């Protein structure tokens, strides 16, 4: 085999050498791909929860309308009208200690629903 290679002219030896190097690189690339791609996928799955954003997209806000007024003492009722959900009603309480009562028909943002009760804040639109 060495006699065959040395019998080639210089340009032939260079060409065969480049083909051997290219084949070697291709084989190493395929082996690393078969080994490293699953490892990278596992690492990405493990790190996925840490990529969560603390900013809530607009479509995730639940908007509602009060069907019964709400003040700091009495529980009201809110009907969910936004977020792509079917209309649902929940008992409503203020999210934080709120001294200003909210009248029937007021637009609110549902902050959380806990044990069947919606905790709401008044919807404040920019420029309003």
Sequence spans of domains, the chain: 2-51, 58-122
Sign of CA dihedral 5, 11, 15, 21: positive
State the pLDDT confidence band at 41, using cuts at 50, 70 and 90: confident
Note the CATH architecture for domain 58-122: Beta Barrel (2.40)
Q: Is the pLDDT of residue 23 over 60?
A: yes
Classify residue 74 by its DSSP letter: S
How far apart are alpha carbons 77 and 83 in whole angstroms?
Answer: 18
State the pLDDT confidence band at 98, using cuts at 50, 70 and 90: low
How far apart are alpha carbons 43 and 29 in whole angstroms?
Answer: 20
Answer whether 120's CB lies under 8 Å from 93's CB: yes
pTM listed for this prediction = 0.50
Q: What pLDDT score does 116 carry?
A: 85
């Amino acid at each position: 085999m060495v006699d065959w290679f040395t019998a080639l002219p210089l340009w032939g030896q260079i060409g065969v050498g480049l083909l051997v190097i290219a084949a070697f690189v291709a084989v190493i690339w395929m082996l690393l791909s078969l080994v490293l791609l699953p490892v990278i996928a596992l690492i990405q799955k493990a790190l996925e929860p840490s990529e969560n954003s603390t900013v809530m997209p607009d479509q995730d806000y639940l908007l509602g309308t009060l069907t019964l007024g709400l003040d700091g003492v009495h529980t009201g009722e809110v009907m969910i009208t936004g977020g792509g959900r079917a209309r649902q009603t929940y008992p409503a309480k203020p999210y934080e200690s709120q001294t200003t009562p909210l009248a029937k028909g007021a637009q609110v943002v549902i902050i959380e629903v806990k044990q069947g009760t919606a905790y709401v804040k008044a919807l404040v639109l920019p420029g309003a």
